Chain A
Amino acid sequence: GQNIDQPTEMTATEGAIVQINCTYQTSGFNGLFWYQQHAGEAPTFLSYNVLDGLEEKGRFSSFLSRSKGYSYLLLKELQMKDSASYLCAVKGGSYIPTFGRGTSLIVHP
């Protein structure tokens, strides 16, 4: 089976940096995704990691350590519109990603 764990909720200040962690235990590993989901909307793709290291894309970066079963999503220069749920999803032995419960990020002025 697969187990994906991430914090339920985080708060941060506008303009700051926040790191959302995700740990996983899976049978097999074929990639880790981060999705952003605003309330009442479908998830949108943010990042994909399959090799160890940091992937940077604008204000968002994602890190992966396969040996530790660990990833994080780093958001810089936070904006109010970044308030959303952030979903960590892992593709194990199956071709279908399994989602964690999501981390609700609240950005305040």
Chain B
Amino acid sequence: GAVVSQHPSWVICKSGTSVKIECRSLDFQATTMFWYRQFPKQSLMLMATSNEGSKATYEQGVEKDKFLINHASLTLSTLTVTSAHPEDSSFYICSALYGGAGAKPGELFFGEGSRLTVL
């Protein structure tokens, strides 16, 4: 199947600093990527849809100025958590739709996830 790589896997930062998380599609081009957040024992909550070459589409309740998304190329989307606070501590996961051979319509391929801890 398609491979999506996410980096870093773990990050600890001080309150008030910014953190960037990268999501790469390694063997296919992804015009659309998705960013999810998952709190302990909760489901994946879609934060935003990242579109290559255009502005991201944010879900209701997600602050676009706090969670900056950049999708500058067909293989890379980044999520920057600006002025992070302890309540932003969570598991952030990116995913991409792969429409190539073997994939099911709408099947998502996920990155490994990034666990952010804000002190």
- Chain A positions within 8 Å of B, measured between CB atoms, are 30-31, 33, 40-45, 48, 50, 87, 89, 91, 95-102, 104
Contacts and interface: CB of A to CB of B under 8 A. Distances in A.
28 contacts: A30-B105, A30-B106, A31-B104, A33-B107, A40-B91, A40-B113, A40-B115, A42-B6, A42-B111, A42-B112, A42-B113, A43-B108, A43-B110, A45-B1, A45-B108, A45-B109, A48-B107, A87-B44, A91-B105, A91-B106, A95-B97, A96-B34, A96-B49, A97-B108, A99-B43, A101-B42, A102-B43, A104-B41
Given A42-B93, A43-B44, A99-B43, A48 B104 contact: yes
Nearest to B4: A42
Interface string B11-31: 000000000000000000000
A85 to B, nearest CB: 8
Nearest to B109: A45
A101 B43 contact: yes
Interface string B86-119: 0000010100010000001111111111010000
B12 to A, nearest CB: 15
A88 to B, nearest CB: 9
Contact of B106 (A40, A44, A95, A99): A95
B46 interface: yes
B41 to A, nearest CB: 7
B106 A31 contact: yes
Contacts of A102: 42-43
B110 A87 contact: no
B113 to A, nearest CB: 5
Contacts of B49: 96
Most buried by B among A42, A89, A95, A102: A42
Nearest to B106: A91
A100 B43 CA distance: 6
Nearest to A43: B110
A45 B105 CA distance: 12
Contacts of A30: 105-106
